[in-house]
Amino acid sequence: MSIPLISNDWCRVLAAEFEKPYFNKLQDFINTERETKTIFPAVANIFTAFELTPYENIRVLLLGQDPYHDDNQAHGLCFSVNPGIKTPPSLVNIYKELKSDLDLNIPNNGYLVPWAQQGVLMLNAVLTVRAHTPNSHKDKGWETFTDAVISQVNQKIDPVIFVLWGGYAKKKLKLIDTSRHTAIQSAHPSPLSARNGFFGSKPFSTINTVLKSNGNSEIDWQIPNI
């Protein structure tokens, strides 16, 4: 079973990556995994972030690390979970900061699709995971692919805001031309680190301030209740 190609302008932007030997090897690995194990997200959702946020629409890139690995959580957007699923701890802390930063209501769900639809590319560094086994698809090729994605976003003429939470994400700073783009860095929202620099970092108001200064409309960060 092949990973489905992306239907919008990303297909052109990433065409060269899909033809490279590492990507073919990655597909073979995932196909082999699926023969005997449950893999998240579903095949149809691996590229949800790209489908919801075309290349030409990107204003913000939010980088996560690894998809959620419990049942029915992951659907292809970093930090986001399907409707009806309990909000995970990192997202609980994101919502707390959102409340503190912009005084928005904390929603009853963790479905972050409205952000993606406004130009926030919600990219995990690794796009698949074995059920209940975090980081199980680390170092299999996804990082090469998503580094290429970050590099392509960096090539956009219009300025983009890169949001790098935690040490892993901050390592991607070398892929970003900060003379043209903005990088927002802080601790990760995980319960292990949120009190060490994520809480109080005000990323959402900062993003909107930068967008306005670039002549763009702000992001409406309010996630509606379902």
- Using one digit for the tens of pLDDT, what is the confidence trace for 134-174? 999 999 999 999 999 999 999 999 999 999 999 999 999 99
Q: Mean pLDDT, the chain, as a whole number?
A: 96
61, with CB counted inside 10 A (0-12, 13-18, 19+), is buried
| Inside any domain, residue 223 | no
* Residue 150: domain span: 10-211
Residue 1 scores a pLDDT above 60 = no
Looking at the chain, how many residues does it have? Answer: 226
| Inside any domain, residue 119 | yes
Q: How far apart are CA 145 and CA 165, in angstroms?
A: 20
Q: Which amino acid is at 39?
A: I
In angstroms, how far is CA 186 from the centroid of its own chain?
16
Q: Are 189 and 65 in contact (CB under 8 A)?
A: no
| Inside any domain, residue 19 | yes
Query: Encoding tokens for residue 212?
Result: 């306005």
| Inside any domain, residue 148 | yes
Q: Angle 10-57-123 (CA atoms, 0-180°, nearest 5)?
A: 60
Q: Which CATH number is 39's domain given? A: 3.40.470.10
pLDDT at position 185 is 98
Q: Are 211 and 161 in contact (CB under 8 A)?
A: yes
| Inside any domain, residue 217 | no
Q: How far apart are CA 9 and CA 148, in angstroms?
A: 15
pLDDT at position 3 is 77
Q: Which residues are catalytic?
A: 66
pLDDT tens, 15-70? Answer: 999 999 999 999 999 999 999 999 999 999 999 999 999 999 999 999 999 999 99
- Residue 88: which of 119, 66, 104, 116 has the closest Cα? 66
In angstroms, how far is CA 183 from the centroid of its own chain?
15
C-beta atoms surrounding 142 within 10 Å? 23
pLDDT tens, 83-140? Answer: 999 999 999 999 999 999 999 999 999 999 999 999 999 999 999 999 999 999 999 9
| Inside any domain, residue 220 | no
Q: Supply the pTM of this predicted model.
A: 0.97
Q: Facing residues of 63 across strands?
A: 123, 164
CA distances from 64 to 15, 87, 124 (A): 23, 16, 4
The structural domain count of the chain equals 1
| Inside any domain, residue 140 | yes
